[in-house]
Amino acid sequence: MPVNPQDSRAPAGEIGDGLASSLLRAGARQERGELRRDVPQGWLRCGDLLRRPKLFAEWRSLLTGWLSDHHGAAPEQTAASYVMSWYLHVPAYVGALLLHHERRVPSLKPEQLAFGLGPDRPHPEGMAVLGDSFYCLPTDPGSVRPEATVVRDERALASVLRAQFVGHAAQFVRAYAPGTRLGRRMLWAAATDALDNSLWWAGRQGGTAEAEGAGVADAALVLDARYRPLTSASTLRAAVGEDGRRAWVRRRESCCFSYLLPGEAECGECPRTCRR
C-alpha cells in the first residue's frame, strides 16, 4: 500500500532530488543509449504509436529494408518480432534501470515515454522520460517531494514496477496484435522477456559479478512468480559453461524468428528448441 506523508512534504525546490537527477545518475551508469527529459525532433512518443498503429507498420517497413540490405531477406515474422521486442524494451529498461540504481520507479505510462531510433539500425537508441512523478522507499532523500509516492518496502516497489510495466504492455498488445501474425501469447511472452532481461542487464552493465548478481536479484524480486498475463517467473539461472565457469543464463519465453534469416539458426535459449 502506498504511504503518502503529506504533512512532511515541502516545496520541491527546497529539498531532496527529483526524477531528473535520478535519470542523470542512472544514465551515466549504463551503456544502452542516452536518457533524456525531452523529445528531440524525429523521436517517437510511445503514446502516439499506441494511438496510431500505422506507425508500427511504418517502423516494420523501415526494418524490412534494413534486414534486406544486411541479410538479403526480410521475413515478415522476423520484422514483426524485432519491433515487438524493441518497443517493449523501452518501458522495461527505463523501469529496470531506475529500480536498480535509484530504488525508484517512474511512471511508465505511454504518454510519459519516448524513444529515438538509431541512425544505422532502426532500434531504440535513446529514451526519454517525460514525467516527474516516481515511487520510492521511505528512506529516499526525495520522498517528501510532492511528486513522490512512498511505498513500504522493496517488495512493494517491485510490485509497482511490475504493475506499471504490465499496464503499458497491455496497451501495446491491444494496439500491435491486429497488424501482425503474432499471437497474444507470443506478445506477452515478449513482454516477460523484456522485463526479466532488462532487470538482468541493469546489473550486468556494472561489469562485475557482484553487480550482475544484483541485477539477477532484482529480477527475482520483481518476477518471483508468474503474474498473468506475463508468461513466467524470472527464468534466470546459474549454469556451468564448457570452460567450467559459472555464468548466469536465461531461457527466452518468446521467439525472435532470426532463424528465418538466411544462414541463421535458432538462438541458444530459443523456446522452440529448449525444454520448458
CATH number at residue 158: 1.10.510
pLDDT attached to residue 7: 33
133 within domain boundaries: yes
257 within domain boundaries: no
pLDDT attached to residue 274: 64
260 within domain boundaries: no
Q: What does the pLDDT look like over 186-221, one tens digit per residue?
A: 999 999 999 999 999 999 998 899 999 999 999 999
pLDDT attached to residue 47: 98
237 within domain boundaries: no
Q: Are 201 and 215 in contact, with CB atoms under 8 Å apart?
A: yes
Q: Which residues of the chain have pLDDT under 70?
A: 1-16, 272, 274-276
Buried-exposed string 238-254: b where 16+ CB fall within 10 A, e elsewhere: eeeeeeeeeebebbbbb
Q: What does the pLDDT look like over 11-56, one tens digit per residue?
A: 333 345 899 999 999 999 988 789 999 999 999 999 999 999 999 9
Residue 139's domain spans which residues?
2-230
Question: Can you give the pTM of this predicted structure?
Answer: 0.91
SS3 state of residue 264: coil
d(CA 170, CA 50): 11
Q: Is 149 exposed, middle or buried (0-12, 13-18, 19+ CB in 10 A)?
A: middle
258 within domain boundaries: no
Q: Look at strands 134-136 and 148-151 and give their pairing.
A: parallel
Q: Are 178 and 186 in contact, with CB atoms under 8 Å apart?
A: no
pLDDT attached to residue 131: 94
Please list the helix, strand and coil fractions of the chain in percent, rounded to the nearest 5, in that order.
50, 15, 40
256 within domain boundaries: no
d(CA 90, CA 74): 23
Domain total for the chain? 1
273 within domain boundaries: no
SS3 state of residue 34: strand
245 within domain boundaries: no
pLDDT attached to residue 14: 37
Number of residues in the chain = 276
pLDDT attached to residue 240: 86
φ, ψ at 273 (rounded to 5°): -120, -20
pLDDT attached to residue 56: 98
